[in-house]
Structure 1
Amino acid sequence: MAAAEGACLHHIARETLDVKRLAKFYQEILGFEVIKSPNLGQYEVIWLSLPPVFSMHIIQRNPETKLPQGPWSSSAAVADPKKLPRGHHISFAVSNYDSFVQTLKEKGIEVHEQTQPNGKTKQVFFFDPDGNGLEVANWLPPQK
């Protein structure tokens, strides 16, 4: 079987009971911008973009869904950012790592920082308001 040609990450989606709150978090913390979102009628969505090409779709969760909302309410909660490096998370790269981490701390967001064995890659792990794991690092752009 042939691998997909020209494959790239297009977007990720996050379900939430509070679409506006979660979208605001990603706008304030990571600089996402609101882009044109479809009118899906029965539920609210906000589409966000992190230029140049990455998108996130924040989608209103069906309140009748019996699944837990994020790790905070899961029976196997990962509420401690120290346990997140091996857990389920989305990773972003920033060029202003130190000031970014300071901003998180000033906003009262609990973080766990670590440095990779190479001594160069610094990472911070934390949660969004719905308990979804996030990592931000001073990653270099992928090399071709």
Structure 2
Amino acid sequence: MELDHINISAPAALLKVTKDFYCEILQLNVGLRPNLSLPGYWLYSGDLALVHMFESDRHSVAEQLNCLDHVAFKMTNVDALIKRLQDHNVEYIEKRRETPKQTQIFFHDPAGIRLEAIFYGE
């Protein structure tokens, strides 16, 4: 089994800001999207549509329990990500481990979703 994609649904203005954030910070690209009933974006890493985004006025800050802690993206070049986060004034937490050698960077997107960028061997 593999994870195919994540979906983010938000009001139009927040969705655009969040799309721009994923493109600038995670360096995803807006790409081909089927003709669907709701406006939105598909964000790609290479040929993979990793993040699907849909406009929705029903989605907002949750008032109920939400147990999803974060979404992790395996990346390379930790220093470049940290620079982009700093350039955009995004707060982050960095954790480094030696066994196995990995660096984790935790931060939040404009929609409040906690993200992890994980780097192996860096």
Same fold per TM (> 0.5)? yes
Computing the radius of gyration from Cα coordinates, the structure with the larger value is: 1
Counterpart of 2:54 in structure 1: which amino acid? I
TM-score (norm. length: structure 2):
0.80
Flag the 1:75–1:102 CA change in 2: closer, same or farther, 3 A. Answer: farther
Moved over 6 A (4+): none
- 2-side partners of 1:110 and 1:75: how far apart? 25
Contact 1:11 1:57 in 2 (8 A): yes
Percentage identity across paired residues of the two chains: 27
Gaps of 5+ in 1: 1-6, 78-86
Structure (1/2) with the larger strand percentage: 2
TM-score (norm. length: structure 1):
0.69
Gaps of 5+ in 2: none
Correspondence list, 1:1-144, <5 A? 7-18=1-12, 19-41=15-37, 43-61=38-56, 63=57, 65=58, 68-69=60-61, 74=63, 88-116=69-97, 118=99, 120-139=101-120
Count of matched residue pairs = 118
- 2-side partners of 1:21 and 1:27: how far apart? 10
RMSD over equivalenced CA pairs, Å: 2.4
